[in-house]
Amino acid sequence: MIKPIGSDVLQPLFVYDTDEHHALRHEAESLPSVIISSQAAGNAVMMGGGYFTPLKGFMTVGDALGCAENMKMSDGSFFPVPILCLLENVDAVRGHKRIALRDPNVEGNPILAVMSVNAIEEIGDSQMQLMTEKVYGTTDKEHPGVAAFNDQGRFALSGPIKVLNFSYFQTDFPDTFRTAVEIRNEIIEHGWRTIVSFQTRNPMHRAHEELCKMAMEAVEADGVIVHMLLGKLKAGDIPAPVRDAAIRKMAELYFPPNTVMITGYGFDMLYAGPREAVLHAYFRQNMGSTHFIIGRDHAGVGDYYGAFDAQTIFDEEVPEDALQIEIFRADHTAYSKKLNKVVMMRDAPDHAKDDFVLLSGTKVREMLGNGIAPPPEFSRPEVAQILMDFYKTSK
C-alpha cells in the first residue's frame, strides 16, 4: 500500500486512547480558551484524521512562509500551503502554555483540541501579502479564499495539538465523513491495490461519472474513491447533503458493485486553484490513493487561474520526490454527439464545439430551478431529479 508522506504510518492527532481522551477533556475545561476560525477548525479536523501527516500541529510564521514560498518548512519537510491558527485577539491566552481551542461551527463552541503553545506571533502586512499571493495567486479580496484567509486575524498561534472531536462532520455526515485512517482500513478490507481518487464540491454529472471510469480503466484501478468536501463553500454552491444524495444515487445505478467508495472530509474550500490541487494530492496519498484525477480549473474560482495550471504545477513547482501519488491529467469531458459517448475534448480533435453537449453551470442551475431536467447526455435523470427537488424546496 502507498505510504503516507514523510512517515511509514499515518499520524492522526485525534486522541483515540479512552483514558487520555477523558483526562484531556477534563483538563481542557480549566484551560484558557479561544474560539478559532472555521479555517483553523478545518485544519484541526484534517490533522486529527491523519490527512495532514506528519504535521504535529499549527505552523509557526516562519514555517508558513516557507510553505507559501517553496512548499517547504524550515526543516525541509514538504507541505504545499500554510496551516495556521490565526486570531484577531490573543489576550485570553497570552502567556499560557496550554490552551483549549473551541469550535466556531458548533453551537456552544465545544472544545475541539488542546494546544501546547510554542509561540504567539504577529504577522506583518508584507508577510500576509506574500502568503496570500503565493498560495492564491492573487491578493484580490473578491476572491473568496483570499477574503477568508485574510479575515481571520493577524496573530498566529503555533504548537502541537491533540484533537478531541471532529466538529460537526461526524454527526452531520455519519455515512460519509471518514478519516484518512478509516479510508485506509476500508481500502484494505476491499483488497484494493490501485485506487483512483476524485475530488468534488459539486454533484457529479455524466461527464464526472465517465471521467472516473476513464481513469479507472487507464490505470487498471480496483476502485475509485469519490471524496467530497463537506466544509464551508461559497454562496450558491450545492449543500453537502444534496451532493451526497446525488452522488450516491449515481454510484448505485451506474457503477459496477464494489468499485466505488463514497466518502467525505471536513475542510473549508480554499478555492486556491493550483496550490489547492497539490494539497488535495497530498492528503489523497495519505488516505491511501495511488492516483488522483485533476481536470481543468481544479479547485478554481472565477478567472483567477489558467485551465491547466493545477496540472502544470506538479511539473514546475512541486519538489521532486515530494509525492508518490500519480496524477491522472484530464481535459474537459463532455458527451460527443458524433460518437454517442462521453469523451475528453483533447481526444476528439475533429470535433467542433457544436458536436458536444455543453451547458454552462448557470444554464444548468436555471434549468433545474425551473424543474427542467438537463438532457440525459449531460446528467443522469435520477441525479437531475434530486437536484430539481432541492431547487424546488429552496425557492
List residues with catalytic annotation: 201-202
Q: Which of 18, 23, 16, 30 is nearest to 96 (CA)?
A: 30
* Measured distance CA(99)–CA(97) in Å, rounded: 7
**Spatial contact of 171 and 298, defined as CB atoms under 8 Å apart:** no
Tell me, letter by letter, the H, E, C secondary structure of 41-103.
HHHHHHHHCCCCCCCCEECCHHHHHHHHHHCECCCCCECCCCCCEEECCCCCCCCCCEEEEEC
* Measured distance CA(332)–CA(168) in Å, rounded: 34
- CA angle (224 as vertex; 220, 226 as ends), nearest 5: 155
- At 112, is the secondary structure helix, strand, or coil? strand
Cβ of 232: how many Cβ atoms within 10 Å? 17
* Measured distance CA(90)–CA(195) in Å, rounded: 44
| Cis ω before 256 (30° cut-off from 0) | no
Q: All 3 cell numbers of residue 342?
A: 462521453
